[in-house]
Structure 1
Amino acid sequence: MSVSELQPDAPVRERGYRIGCIGAGMIMAECHLAAYREAGFNVVAIASRTVSRAESVAQRWSIARVHESPQALIDDSDVEIIDIAYPPDRQPALIRAALATPHVKAVLAQKPLALSLPEALALRDEARRAGKILSVNQNMRYDQSMRVLKQLLDRRALGEPVLAQIDMHAIPHWQTFLEGYDRLTLSNMSVHHLDVLRHLFGEPDEVTSVTRTDPRTTFAHQDGIVGTTLRFASGLLAFSLEDVWAGPRGGGFEDDQVIRWRVEGTEGVAKGTIGWPHGAPSTLSYASQRETDGKWVTPEWRTMWFPHAFIGVMEQLQYALASETGPALTVADNVRTMALVEAAYKSAAERRTVRMSEVPVPD
């Protein structure tokens, strides 16, 4: 297989469903709606906690209807898919309202799905009983470098994975609602990396996490800077570092924020960057004994994680409805990512390695 056969961006196979968006913050305004405009998705309504904010976002993206409340949007019979970008303590109630509304066909929720694993499991089961699709926005799976890496792994271009790492030194913008929670980086940043490691390599057997506070984050928290090791039955070790401090800033300090990743296998190596900190495309280079005679090859693309990955996230949900098949991002899979996050918190709190069997996920 050749480099030209790699697909950094998901194809758009379906765009025919009417979408109602709940939330008008940065993620919705700058990512969801920018992606949907580019893909030609049909956004028919928006609502948020603040009507004026929703009106401003609606004007920017030419959305016809602004509802005075999220519930009013859910009640809008013209809406078929509910797309939620809302604080996780308020999200479950909106999901339940959408699942109970006959004309709503599917829900796309944000991560974390809920603030606890038991509530996430309850939402999974309620969606099953309602016979509706509940999908979770694990958008890093649609980052272009991660999609290409997954394709390389699936075709065994790197052989058997031996070592993997995601090395982040970048400063997130923590939303103000996070100040009211007792969890920070693992739930809201590491969740991207831990989920994509599951996506790439399957279920780990063990997790070990260590944390410390972040000097820049002024509100109370435990998990500021986080380092996590995953051990898999195959022997694979995977490391995830979320350094949200990344050194001092301001006063002429030169910005060196970066997210790097690397996967080493028995027959090749792939490495790259995630472009999010600088609004640039992610990158990937690989060398394979099977495919490149050990020479480094660097596919290129112009699209980015933010916002273009959000096209694939919403497309997979529309395609699942149109084809009457399961979505690529299932809630059943997402609760296993939540279990991994839960195990990481347990490891950090108890200062020990935690086996995933200690955090069971019932079917």
Structure 2
Amino acid sequence: MDITYKPTLPNNPVPIVIFGAGGIVKDAHLPAYKQAGFQVHGIYNRTVAKAEKLAEQYSIPNAYATVEEAIADAPENAVFDLAVMPPQFVGILDKLPKNSHVLLQKPMGDDWDTTLAIRDACWRNGHQAAINCQLRFAPFTMAARDLIERGLIGDLHHMEVHVEVYTPWHLFPHIHGLPRVEIQQHSIHHLDIVRSFLGDPGSMYARTLKHPKQAELASTRTTMILDYGDDIQATILVNHGHEFGAKHQQSYIKWEGTEGAIKATMGLLKNYPDGVPDEFEYCLLPPEGSDQAPEWHRVDLEGSWFPEAFVGSMAQVMRHKEGSLDAMPTRLEDVMRTMACVEAAYASDAAGGTPVDYSFAVEG
């Protein structure tokens, strides 16, 4: 079966100016841009030596020590890739040329107030902004979307995200002091994916917890239910503390419809950041009345979440700028709705569940 799973590239790629030279830029942004043939004009970092190192590694002609220097040297037709921490977004957004095209690293703020401040900075400056919710552009996600949009699995009525892995949190020292970790920094990806297929949930149920061996972090385990009424089930189950080897680790997204199902294994999370190979499988129900058993088919897809998905994130920005794409899939206004789900999840966690009445068990 032919499956479309690669992003459409811009007709005329434009130069990129990157703000930030951290691990995500080194491991994902720059390899993706090199793979796609996108030109990076320059890279900024507060510790300019880090920018210079990546500039040398990826043949980037310019490394900058200040935001102002990077903006002043940017080509007139450049797009901007903000891969710094969210508290730095607004200051940079206010300095960019008016009406710029911008890709912002997720999350869109570490709390709702910052999310609103980022939105307002983009709006008052006329920026066309997308958030780098790049899981939407992973090969397995785009393959699933192609099958579903072609109607091959019928009406989608179930989505499940299950992640049971051991995450090396020491690679992310910047989040250790944050009051919100698992949902805000990680499961936001899963919320965004579910939203992108099922739309906006009417309500949320959530519980996010610490792990006894990861006590320095706010939370690393989460259970969420997205409420779409009586006919659609959507669940997210995440545990970053499964330290018992690879045998029973889980990392998948599953879609079920009235006529078929899809399962995508996200190999990246099983041995982060090196990962293991992804897997993509689908099953179509045989015709009604057939005695044939349902059969799963595996499809080998090229690429993975890192770095290939980052090609799609930037390609949408360039395509929108050139006019070949009417609306960016992860445009700011859409991802705001994912951030609203994040807020609802934390509100549900704070409110707690319905107490159980055990009064009947009191002995007479």
Take 1:120 and 1:218, find their aligned partners in 2: how far apart are those partners? 27
1:64 aligns with 2:64: no
Shift of 1:97: 2.4
Q: Secondary structure at the match of 1:71?
A: helix
Q: Secondary structure at the match of 2:300?
A: coil
Take 1:157 and 1:68, find their aligned partners in 2: how far apart are those partners? 52
TM-score of the two chains, using structure 2 as the length reference: 0.87
Gap runs ≥5 in structure 2: 355-364
Query: What is residue 150 of structure 2 aligned with on the other side?
Result: 155
Shift of 1:234: 6.0
Post-superposition Cα deviations, 1:204-242, rounded to whole Å, max 9, x if no partner, equal: 112111122023424241x22111111113621111112
Give the aligned residue type for 2:259.
E
Query: What is residue 127 of structure 2 aligned with on the other side?
Result: 132
Query: 1:276-315, aligned counterparts within 5 Å?
Result: 276-277=268-269, 278=271, 279-289=275-285, 294-315=294-315
Take 1:14 and 1:180, find their aligned partners in 2: how far apart are those partners? 43
Quickly say closer, same or farther: Cα 1:352–1:154, change in 2 above 3 A: farther
Q: Is the 8 A contact 1:159 1:265 kept in 2?
A: yes
Shift of 1:323: 1.0
Q: Is the 8 A contact 2:139 2:302 kept in 1?
A: no
Give the aligned residue type for 1:95.
L
Q: Is the 8 A contact 1:198 1:204 kept in 2?
A: yes
Q: Secondary structure at the match of 2:144?
A: helix
Query: What is residue 179 of structure 2 aligned with on the other side?
Result: 182
Take 2:129 and 2:308, find their aligned partners in 1: how far apart are those partners? 21
Instruction: Give the percent of matched residue pairs that are identical in Structure 1 and Structure 2.
Output: 27
Shift of 1:152: 1.9
Take 1:29 and 1:143, find their aligned partners in 2: how far apart are those partners? 18
Shift of 1:158: 1.6
Deviates more, 1:306-315 or 1:13-22: 13-22
Deviates more, 1:227-236 or 1:106-115: 227-236
Query: What is residue 336 of structure 1 aligned with on the other side?
Result: 337
1:37 aligns with 2:34: yes
Quickly say closer, same or farther: Cα 1:29–1:231, change in 2 above 3 A: same
Q: Is the 8 A contact 1:164 1:263 kept in 2?
A: yes
Query: What is residue 350 of structure 1 aligned with on the other side?
Result: 351
TM-score of the two chains, using structure 1 as the length reference: 0.87
1:320 aligns with 2:320: yes
Q: How many residues align?
A: 342
Q: Is the 8 A contact 2:87 2:114 kept in 1?
A: no
RMSD over equivalenced CA pairs, Å:
2.2
Shift of 1:352: 4.0
1:204 aligns with 2:201: yes
Q: Is the 8 A contact 1:281 1:302 kept in 2?
A: no
Give the aligned residue type for 1:239.
T
Quickly say closer, same or farther: Cα 1:154–1:234, change in 2 above 3 A: farther
Q: Is the 8 A contact 2:81 2:104 kept in 1?
A: yes
Post-superposition Cα deviations, 1:142-192, rounded to whole Å, max 9, x if no partner, equal: 111111111222222222222221110123344212123210000011000
Query: What is residue 266 of structure 1 aligned with on the other side?
Result: 258
Give the aligned residue type for 2:255.
V
1:228 aligns with 2:220: no
Shift of 1:10: 0.9
Give the aligned residue type for 1:105.
S
Q: Which runs of 4+ in 1 moved over 6 A?
A: 290-293
Post-superposition Cα deviations, 1:54-95, rounded to whole Å, max 9, x if no partner, equal: 111111111110101233212323262111111122223222
Take 2:43 and 2:208, find their aligned partners in 1: how far apart are those partners? 38
Look at both structures and tell me which one has the larger radius of gyration over its CA atoms. Answer: 2
Shift of 1:290: 7.5
Shift of 1:281: 4.1
Q: Is the 8 A contact 1:262 1:270 kept in 2?
A: yes
Deviates more, 1:324-333 or 1:57-66: 324-333
Take 1:206 and 1:126, find their aligned partners in 2: how far apart are those partners? 28
Give the aligned residue type for 2:73.
D
1:191 aligns with 2:192: no
Take 1:202 and 1:234, find their aligned partners in 2: how far apart are those partners? 15
Q: Is the 8 A contact 2:100 2:126 kept in 1?
A: no
Take 1:351 and 1:70, find their aligned partners in 2: how far apart are those partners? 44
Take 1:332 and 1:254, find their aligned partners in 2: how far apart are those partners? 39
Q: Secondary structure at the match of 2:87?
A: coil
Quickly say closer, same or farther: Cα 1:308–1:280, change in 2 above 3 A: farther
Post-superposition Cα deviations, 1:71-122, rounded to whole Å, max 9, x if no partner, equal: 3212323262111111122223222322xx24x7211101111122243234
Take 2:313 and 2:153, find their aligned partners in 1: how far apart are those partners? 27
Q: Is the 8 A contact 1:117 1:335 kept in 2?
A: no
